Amino acid sequence: MKPRVAVFCSGRGSNMEALIRASQSADYPAEIVLVVSNKADVPALELARKLGVKALAVPAKPFGKDREAHERAIDAVLVAEKIEIVCLAGYMRLLTPYLVRRWTGRMLNIHPSLLPKYPGLDTHARALAAGERKHGCTVHLVTEIMDDGPILAQAEVPILPGDTEETLAARVLEQEHRIYPEALAALSARISLPEGGAKP
Ligand code: GRF
């Protein structure tokens, strides 16, 4: 059985699209069955539906300052949909320890830098300002520390003379779309192994 995967996003959804397209190959070892956004009316939700994947918003507003209550509502959806792995893909909301602990080892994130360098926002501008010669992206397991946790995959790109934030972001994004489906496939193959044994 392929693990059932949910993707969380808050905006454009290009990594979500890369994950869905990869999972639509018969030999891909995971199934993307749900997309969740903390915001209604974002392009990612519409795109997911067009690609044939159930997509819904769980807005944070009704929960006010109670971030954990918002996450409990999201978690109830994940449980109802029998989700086994969560991929954060441009999900622009810090998670509380509640949701992170619920999904330890089964929640991935993609971050546009070569972690541990440049956690947080504006990674491309910061790498350019620091005069870096290379930059890239990282897929990692999510822990309670933002943009931290065991690294599953990384890809490097060169920083070229004349690069702007936009040209660099585009070069990195191309790699994000490659390594995220690869990292999810590797994790899925691992967790679908029968307990303590190799695949028959
Ligand atoms: C990506 O650069 C991702 O690494 C970061 O947020 C951006 C989301 O873009 N976490 P998209 O929504 O996947 O197009």
Is the separation of the CB atoms in 156 and 114 below 8 Å?
yes
Residue 22 predicted with pLDDT over 60: yes
Secondary-structure percent of the chain, ordered helix, strand, coil, rounded to 5: 40, 20, 40
Measured distance CA(40)–CA(26) in Å, rounded: 31
Q: What pLDDT shows up at residue 193? A: 61
| Atom in ligand 1 nearest the alpha carbon of residue 112 | 4
Q: Is the pLDDT of residue 196 over 80?
A: no
Mutation to probe ligand 1, out of 9, 14, 20 (largest number of atoms < 8 A from CB):
14
d(CA 116, CA 46): 33
Ligand 1: which atom is nearest the Cα of residue 16? 13
**pLDDT-derived band of residue 123, with 50, 70 and 90 as boundaries?**
very high
Q: What is the pLDDT of residue 192?
A: 73
Check residue 67 and give left, alpha or beta (phi > 0: left; psi -120 to 50: alpha). alpha
The Cα-based distances of 118 to 96, 115, 122 in angstroms read: 21, 6, 8
**Tens of pLDDT, residues 126-173:** 999 999 999 999 999 999 999 999 999 999 999 999 999 999 999 999
